[in-house]
Amino acid sequence: MQASEVQRAVSAARSVASSLGLPADDAVVLQDSNKLTLRLLPCDVLARVSPAAHQVAQFEVRLAQQLAGSGCPVAVLEPRVEPRVYGRDGFEVTLWTYYEPVAPGEISPAGYADALKRLHAGMRAVEVPTPHFTDRAAEAEALVASRERSPALADADRELLGDTLRRLRAVIGARGAPEQVLHGEPHPGNVLTTKNGLLFIDFETCCRGPVEFDLAHAPEEVGEHYPDADQDLLRECRTLMLAMITAWRWDRDDQLPDGRRLGVEWLAQLRAAVDRNGSDARG
C-alpha cells in the first residue's frame, strides 16, 4: 500500500472496530503489500484493509465462510461482529480472529502438505467464479510485454520472462491434468502457524488449475509429502510461478516493500531454473 495511504487505512480500521464496540486504541502493522494487515488492540482483532477500488474483500469473506463451514484449515472471521465487509473512507475493512503465532519450525513439511490437502478437499466442494491459473500467467505476460508498465525491465530479462510465461502456459495446459478451485498462493506468508495447526488466509488470488500449481508456492519439501503429486508437473509449475511473481516485481506500480530487490534476485533464480530445466521453457 502506498505510504500516503497507510495512516488513512489504519484510521479506517480503528474507526470501524470502535463503531462495532471493539476497542482499538492501537494498531500494529503485521503486513503491508497491496493490502494492510493489522492487529488491533486491546480488542485483539485482525483487520485486513484494502482500497475499495480493488473489490476483492467480499469474495474473500464469502469464500472463507464456505470453507470454514466445511471444516477446512482456514482463519475465521471475528465472531463478535457481523461477518461482512465494512466500508470506510475509501477502504474495505474485514475483521478476523487473531491467532497467536507459534514457532514455524513446529510444523513439518508433512503437516503443511496435510493441511493443504484438506484445504483442497474443501475447495473441491465450493462453487465460486474464479479465473484459470493461465489467465493470471497471461496477465503477467501482458505486463512484461508493456514497456510502459515495466519500464525498468532490461530487454534480455523481458525476453526471458515473456518466453517462459508463454511457453510454460502451453506446456502445462497440454498435460491435461485434473483441475479444481485452488488457493492461488498458499506460500508461507499466507499461512498462519497456530496452536491448532496451519490455517490458510488471503484468498484473493483464488483460481482454477492443477493442485501442483498451489504446491509450487509452498516450500519444496512439501511437494514430496503431498499424495499423488505429479513431480514433473510440479517442477514446471514452480518455474511458471517464479516467472509470474518476478514479473509483478517489475510493475512500475508494484507496492511490495523491497520489491525491486526481490525482482533482481528472482530473475537470477529464474534464469538458473530455465538453464537447469531447459525443456520447461522450450516446450
Q: What is the pLDDT of residues 38-67, one digit of tens each?
A: 999 999 999 999 988 777 888 999 999 999
Per-residue pLDDT tens over the stretch 168-186: 999 999 999 999 999 999 9
Task: State the residue for C-alpha cell 498462493.
Answer: 185
Taken in order of first residue, the domains within the chain and their CATH numbers are: 3-97 (3.30.200.20), 109-281 (3.90.1200.10)
Distance, CA of 70 to CA of 59 (rounded, Å): 17
Confidence of residue 113 (pLDDT cuts 50, 70, 90): very high
pLDDT tier, 105 (very low <50, low <70, confident <90, very high otherwise) = low
Measured distance CA(152)–CA(149) in Å, rounded: 9
Lookup: cell for 136: 493470471
pLDDT digits (tens, 9 = 90+) for 207-216: 999 999 999 9
Q: How much is the average pLDDT of 5-14?
A: 94
Predicted local confidence at residue 276, as pLDDT: 82
Query: What is the spatial distance between Cα 165 and Cα 250, in angstroms, rounded to a whole number?
Result: 15
Average pLDDT, the chain: 92
Q: Could you give the CA distance from residue 15 to residue 34 in angstroms, rounded to a whole number?
A: 21
pLDDT at 281 over 80: no
**pLDDT score of 282 more than 70:** no
Residue 68 has φ and ψ, to the nearest 5°, of -65, -40
Q: Which residue has the higher pLDDT, 175 or 35?
A: 175
CB 9 within 8 A of CB 255: no
The secondary structure of the chain, three-state, reads CCHHHHHHHHHHHHHHHHHCCCCEEEEEEEEECCCEEEEEEECCEEEEEEEHHHCCHHHHHHHHHHHHHCCCCECCECCCCCCCCEEECCEEEEEEECCCCCCHHHCCHHHHHHHHHHHHHHHCCCCCCCCEHHHHHHHHHHHHHCCCCCCCCCHHHHHHHHHHHHHHHHHHHHHCCCCEEECCCCCHHHEEEECCEEEECCCCCCEEECHHHHHCCCCHHHHCCCCCCCHHHHHHHHHHHHHHHHHHHCCCCCCCCCHHHHHHHHHHHHHHHHHHCHHHHHC
User: What's the pLDDT score for residue 280?
Assistant: 44
Which grid cell is 100?
497467536
pLDDT higher than 80, residue 104? no
- What's the distance, CA 143 to chain centroid? 18
